[in-house]
A and B are shown apart, each in its own frame.
Chain A
Amino acid sequence: GDSVTQMEGPVTLSEEAFLTINCTYTATGYPSLFWYVQYPGEGLQLLLKATKADDKGSNKGFEATYRKETTSFHLEKGSVQVSDSAVYFCALSDGGNNAGNMLTFGGGTRLMVKP
């Protein structure tokens, strides 16, 4: 079945540091890939997405490139801020036999940014 593996946290960085959160996936079809962010006490918000190989999703300074050859979708940001502290989830939606485009999530990575 489909699965998503992302690096365990917490990841602790100083403000303005470079961020990478690794995400790799296994899927039988041609999935769409997503990064969601969860701020403390809130629900999940869609951060960015990519729907086909070599697409780059970007939003709020974050970006991730859909790499089919390495089955990866790593999240990057050049300069993190304290306000980026949150839990980040990588997810996929495998459109093959997936009625409803259901999401399969990774376990989440907590990011803590110190001033």
Chain B
Amino acid sequence: NAGVTQTPKFQVLKTGQSMTLQCAQDMNHEYMSWYRQDPGMGLRLIHYSVGAGITDQGEVPNGYNVSRSTTEDFPLRLLSAAPSQTSVYFCASSPPTGGLVNYGYTFGSGTRLTVV
């Protein structure tokens, strides 16, 4: 199993450019999410999805779009990159809760994005 795969691992963008961060999982997980990690701030939720065709906003959604056309893929789009979006981005997936059991999330290895 590959788990959660993110591409690219590193990216440098100019202000105003757009790009898509790819995320794919092969565990048939229904739940997927995107977080950004900034120094001293832990991880903050950008967008999430509870299944194909269903997405919702997290804590810091501005400047980002997502879609979920398949169970496996959950791309994150930066519409017009800004220096404030310089961060490390993590995609994560999880099976749904089974009764009282919360399985937690499996994380990808991250994309380090720099906007200049």
Q: 14 A-B Cβ contacts within 8 A? A: A43-B109, A43-B110, A44-B92, A46-B104, A46-B106, A51-B102, A93-B102, A100-B33, A101-B97, A101-B105, A102-B48, A103-B92, A103-B105, A107-B40
Please tell me if the beta carbons of A95 and B104 are within 8 angstroms of each other in the complex.
Answer: no
B window 36-67: CB within 8 A of A: 40-45, 48-50, 56, 58
Please tell me if the beta carbons of A101 and B43 are within 8 angstroms of each other in the complex.
Answer: no
Closest chain-B Cβ to A87's Cβ sits at a distance in Å of: 10
- Size of B's binding interface in residues, CB under 8 A: 30
| Chain A residue at minimal CB-CB distance from B40 | A107
B33 surroundings in chain A (CB, below 8 A) = 100, 102-103
A-contact 0/1 string along B83-101, CB 8 Å cutoff: 0000000101010110011
Please tell me if the beta carbons of A49 and B104 are within 8 angstroms of each other in the complex.
Answer: yes
| Chain A residue at minimal CB-CB distance from B101 | A51
Q: Is B75 an interface residue, CB under 8 A from the partner?
A: no
Q: Is A12 an interface residue, CB under 8 A from the partner?
A: no
Please tell me if the beta carbons of B50 and A105 are within 8 angstroms of each other in the complex.
Answer: no
B-contact 0/1 string along A24-45, CB 8 Å cutoff: 0000000010101000001111
* Residue positions of B touching A, CB distance < 8 A: 4, 31, 33, 35, 40-45, 48-50, 56, 58, 90, 92, 94, 96-97, 100-102, 104-110
B104 surroundings in chain A (CB, below 8 A) = 32, 34, 46, 49, 93, 103
Please tell me if the beta carbons of B94 and A107 are within 8 angstroms of each other in the complex.
Answer: no
Q: Is A52 an interface residue, CB under 8 A from the partner?
A: yes
A66-B56 Cα distance, complex, nearest whole Å: 30
A43 surroundings in chain B (CB, below 8 A) = 4, 90, 107-110
A108-B41 Cα distance, complex, nearest whole Å: 8
| Chain B residue at minimal CB-CB distance from A50 | B102
A42-B109 Cα distance, complex, nearest whole Å: 5
